[in-house]
Amino acid sequence: MSDPKRRCVQTSRDPEVWMQWFNEISSGEESPLDEEDSDEKEEDVCVESDHHETESEQEIPEVDQDEPDWEEETDEGEADIFYWGKDKVTKWKKGRSNTQVRTRSQNIIKLLPGTKGSARNARSETDCLKLFINDTVIRIITISTNIYIMKVKSKFQRFRDARQTDEREITAFIGILILIGTLRSSRKNLKNIWDNSKGSGVEACYLAMSEKRFRFLIRCLRFDDIRTRDERKEIDKLAPIRELFETFLVNFQNNFIASEYLTVDEQLLAFRGRCGFKQFIPSKPAKYGIKTFALCDSKTSYTFNLETYVGTQPEGPYKLSNSSEDIVIRLVNPVAGTNRNITGDNWFTSLSLVKKLLQEKKLTYIGTMRKNKREIPPQFLPNKNRPEKSSLFGFQKDCTMVSYCPKKNRSVILLSSMHFDDAIDEETGDDKKPVIIADYNHTKIDVDLVDQLCQKYNVARNTRRWPTVVFYNLINISGINALCVYKANHPPQKRIARSDFLQSCAWDLIRPQIEFRSTIPSLPVDMRRRARATLNVREVSPSPSNQPKTTVGRCHICPRQRDKSTRKICSQCRRFACKQHMSDTCTACLKE
């Protein structure tokens, strides 16, 4: 049982929790280098989103606060007790109801936050990540990519240049993406990452696969069967990545229990290529991109649900309402009936939504309101006669509205179904902010925080295909969710930096591919030796019975194109080595 007034204060005001996330956030330079060409014909449409319409741009009717036009129609007794909304139907009681002796049922949390199911047994970094990037995800990508490779292999003269991939290679491919993102090099030219002539390359990358192979996989990366895509796109605009997208969402929802507060907001995935539902949001840093709605945990930044905005869907099972109220209802389904609280901005908030969440989903809600809503009383709107730092409260049976005046002729209006009094937060000092506003401020930033965490170690590379942009975002979010699981399964004393966590995961994903390549005879000897050294694998020396039968052989250290012949044999490994790679040592030095 938790107190509705202090539930948020106890969880979201912990300075160590928030500072740990904010200290990791910084900006990085990006280089606009394209890594692939688009091979799909996409209709290019860009629509300006109305999500971030500022309140100053809305038309606010001028209302005489002292004497409304409809006051004559209102009973004098009710005018003293109630505030009436601009719709002349909605009324708000001026004084709060009787003080509650017992905690209301919607404020009682029964399921404590933490891991659940198989996630409880995930101890290592890789085990946590594989809860989300599991075998099903790898299998979908592998099968879909091979189908596309079969389509384009006729364009290549050599078979080896267009050979099919497998699950081990796709796993290593994702590991390389995560590793490059951790090094904050996702926008760099691949030549700078693979070129080790000056010792500045990333050794794990070119030991796992060649630069040419990595570019080929990026080009051929697909997430569905392209042979049936046109048929599926007739009923679903998200068909190129629908199956993989829903698989990730199931993994997100099956491995973690949310804390008391969650946030609903939108992301904008940067993209300027051809897309039929590309959005323009001037207030976002990227401005152009794919809009995605997200439900995130305000305490841990764990993402539970996502919904990609694709505009109006064709007739069929995927055609759903795009109203803000319906979007929130769909997003909160994973936590329905758990008595948790949802925080949203003024694009989502409405009185009907708050009541529907409380009655149908058993969820409370806190959010700001746009001033053109008809349920708001005229007295709550900006008024130059209101004193600064003052608050007006309106009460109904199951929700509370507050209008706070931060400065002259300004007002901030919030609606809450979790608060039922006119309490002022003492920690705000002279600002005298209501507890509703204080709780909203402490829980509203989570989706923005997830955006910043994704940008910190972003795996996204430049691309002209929008499904790949969505895939990169799913990988970024999986890394954040995996870290949340890892922290939940370990005591606070065992802290780990997110960069170290991601690098450990990336190495474990890449390692099997390096082990495989180290056994390929046609691979250069020097590369195989570096691979074994990286894997800490000791080279097995041939037994004396396996000594060379010939007296002349090729040096096993020199490159093959040099074709250096020699008669000298190493006394330890019993292999041929030229004079350049042999050293004469006296007995005294040898003993030392």
φ, ψ of residue 158 to 5 degrees: the values are -105, 140
367 three-class SS: strand
Amino acid at 449: L
Taking the CB of residue 127, how many other CB atoms lie within 10 A of it?
18
- Residue 192 makes CB contacts below 8 A (sequence gap 6+) with 185, 200, 201
Contact 413, 371 (CB under 8 A): yes
- pLDDT for res 383: 87
pLDDT one-digit tens code per residue, 400-450: 999 999 998 899 999 999 888 888 988 888 888 999 999 999 988 888 889
- pLDDT for res 9: 41
Q: Which residues pair with 114 in a beta bridge?
A: 257
Q: Which residues pair with 257 in a beta bridge?
A: 114
Burial 339-373 (b: 16+ CB within 10 A, else e): bbbbbbbbbbbbbebbbbbbeebebbbbbbbbbeb
Contact 208, 215 (CB under 8 A): no
Cα→Cα distances 580→525, 555, 558, 583, 584, Å = 16, 10, 9, 8, 11
Q: What is d(CA 136, CA 6) in angstroms, rounded to the nearest whole number?
A: 42
- pLDDT for res 591: 56
Taking the CB of residue 41, how many other CB atoms lie within 10 A of it?
6
Q: Which residues pair with 493 in a beta bridge?
A: none
For 173, the token pair is 């491919």
Global pTM value = 0.82
Angle of helix 466-488 relative to helix 242-253, nearest 10 degrees, comes to 10
pLDDT one-digit tens code per residue, 540-551: 555 555 556 677
Q: What is d(CA 478, CA 222) in angstroms, rounded to the nearest whole number?
A: 19
- pLDDT for res 540: 55
- pLDDT for res 4: 46
- pLDDT for res 414: 94
Contact 481, 303 (CB under 8 A): yes
Q: E strands, 250-338, where? A: 256-257, 261-270, 278-280, 288-297, 303-308
Q: From first to last of its 592 residues, what are the pLDDT tens digits of the chain?
A: 445 444 544 444 555 555 555 555 444 444 443 456 565 567 778 887 776 654 444 444 444 444 333 343 445 556 678 888 888 888 898 877 555 545 566 666 666 788 998 999 999 999 999 999 999 999 999 999 999 999 999 999 888 889 999 999 999 999 999 999 999 988 888 888 998 777 778 888 989 999 999 999 999 999 999 999 999 999 999 999 999 999 999 999 999 999 899 999 999 999 999 998 999 988 888 899 999 999 999 999 999 999 999 999 999 899 999 999 999 999 999 999 888 999 999 999 999 999 999 999 999 999 999 999 999 999 999 988 888 999 999 998 889 999 999 998 899 999 999 888 888 988 888 888 999 999 999 988 888 889 889 999 999 999 999 999 999 999 999 999 999 999 999 988 888 999 999 999 999 999 999 999 988 888 888 888 888 888 887 755 555 555 566 778 878 788 776 778 887 777 667 777 887 787 766 666 655 5
